[in-house]
Structure 1
Amino acid sequence: MDRPETSTEAAHALLLQDVAKSFDGTNAVRGIDLAIRPGEFYGLLGANGAGKTTTLRMTVGLLKPDRGAIQIFGIDALQDPAAAKQKLAWLPDEPLLYEQLTPLEYLEFVAGLWRIDAKEAADRASTLLDRLDLWSQRDTRCAALSRGMKQKVSLAGALVHDPRLLILDEPLTGLDPAIQRQVKDLLLARTDAGCTIILATHILDVAERLVNRVGIMRDGALVAQGTLAELRIQTGRKDATLEDIFLALAISQSAAVA
């Protein structure tokens, strides 16, 4: 988790200031402040209903916040959403594909939406399919692929335009260990190349091995963040695992409040 950071850029990759959202009078996100540096691999953790997905959906423009400011690499995402979206990619927990297309056709189609030159699109698609061990399925319709393969194709679609900020909501859920390993290796390679990644996950041992820094949400608020070493100091648990810290901050206190 405490891998060295790879970027020296000054601007924030993502900056949230007092971002809030409620549904039918219930606060889902309560004025969250969050600053993520370029090249950082950031883990966003929390129990179901903590506000993680709502926060991420506001970040990528799928939900409008009730108040607050969102900047992506210095771009005001609320005032200029088209420019902000050029910098990012969003991968939800369920793969969303055109199932009558093959993986190769799908990636070339997505690249075309980003106005990538056809030859460059084909090259990028081939590289991603090869890296994710999907080349042998390149001409198989997506409808016939397993869930794990669909998730990998969806990830490749998110990466084909080479985003500077990649936001992932539970990308490893339901994947077998071999496929998880392929996805993790690709994500680490992307951060090594300077991409910023935000990962929301319930798989805490994966987060502990992958991310530079963690934020823990509870009841719509960010209750703690830092490296594993910093979180151990904050909680006074010098030998704690990330799971120990998460259970103390995100679960036990929620139960106590309830």
Structure 2
Amino acid sequence: MTLKINNLTGGYHGVSVLKDLNLTVEKGKAVALIGLNGAGKSTTIKHILGLLRPQRGYIELDGIKLAQAPEAFKQKLAYIPETPILYPELTLKEHIELTILAYHLDEAETWKKANDLLTKFRLDNKLDWLPIHFSKGMKQKVMIVCAFLAASDLLVIDEPFTGLDPLSALTLIDLVQEAKNQGKMILITSHVLSEVQDTVDQFAVLNNRKIEVCGSLNEIKAHYGLSEQDSFDQIYRVLSREQVQHG
């Protein structure tokens, strides 16, 4: 069971933001997609979600090619966007009910899991609230709850720590680890590397329109001439210098 991105070239309005991008996420593994702003992380995610059509290459999940069977492909993934997207006219309870319907979940079993997640994120007494009453962080937690309820093989998580309080961030990290233990695939983007470096198995550095290197924390550091003692955030300094040199 894998997510495979093969020789993906794509972007917007005929402009190639990505060129020959290759990336694999395996069962029970979490991969962090990292890079400077404008490197193409959001473009990559939009291609995985089927919001953009590749100019070349393909994306495959559990042997299902997105271009050939988009509905079956999308049924196998859940997405947590950087900016929460909720239906303004639906309560928290109705968002959960919508997730149950969308993924054809068992209602009783899913509500048992939902109540546990709602308690962990301190949302259990807000089932009748509309999104207008939620802070940005609370909206983000609603997105997280719904995504982890979904019967998905792949979780795509885009900058999830934005707006989360420290306790909620720790809860999310625990959920990612639990999902890995269940055999799910995780693709996560984050600028806060310290939050994810102990949770992810591999880091994929997006630079110059493709995956420049993919590996463990120390392998990535070594690729950029950094020592094991250097802060992982030093990678961004190296990438920034390269960008200036090639600019």
Q: TM-score, normalised by structure 2?
A: 0.92
Aligned to 1:63: 52
Aligned to 2:101: 112
- Give the unaligned 5+ runs of structure 2: none
Cα drift, residue 127 of structure 1: 2.7
Aligned to 1:222: 211
Aligned residues of 1:14 and 1:71 also touching (Cα < 8 A)? yes
Matched, 1:136 2:115: no
Cα-to-partner distance string for 1:88-117 (whole Å, 9 max, x where unaligned): 111111111123322222111221122223
Cα-to-partner distance string for 1:170-190 (whole Å, 9 max, x where unaligned): 111132322222222222222
Cα-to-partner distance string for 1:56-104 (whole Å, 9 max, x where unaligned): 1111211111110111112111111111112111111111112332222
Q: Which amino acid aligns with 2:128?
A: D
Aligned residues of 1:148 and 1:179 also touching (Cα < 8 A)? no
Aligned to 1:158: 147
Distance 1:20 1:112 in 2: 34
Matched, 1:237 2:210: no
Aligned to 1:246: 236
Aligned residues of 1:213 and 1:228 also touching (Cα < 8 A)? yes
Q: Which amino acid aligns with 2:9?
A: A
Find the partner of 2:82 among 53, 70, 93.
93
Q: 1:124 to 1:99 in 2, by over 3 A?
A: farther
Q: Which amino acid aligns with 2:113?
A: R
Deviates more, 1:41-50 or 1:192-201: 192-201
- The Cα RMSD (Å) is 1.7
Matched, 1:125 2:114: yes
- Give the unaligned 5+ runs of structure 1: 1-10
Cα-to-partner distance string for 1:168-218 (whole Å, 9 max, x where unaligned): 111111323222222222222222222211111111211323211000111
Cα-to-partner distance string for 1:31-77 (whole Å, 9 max, x where unaligned): 10111111111100011110111111111211111110111112111
Moved over 6 A (4+): none
The SS at the match of 1:69 is strand
Find the partner of 1:18 among 7, 21, 31.
7
Q: Which amino acid aligns with 2:207?
A: R
Cα-to-partner distance string for 1:141-187 (whole Å, 9 max, x where unaligned): 22201111110101111122231110011111132322222222222
Aligned to 2:171: 182
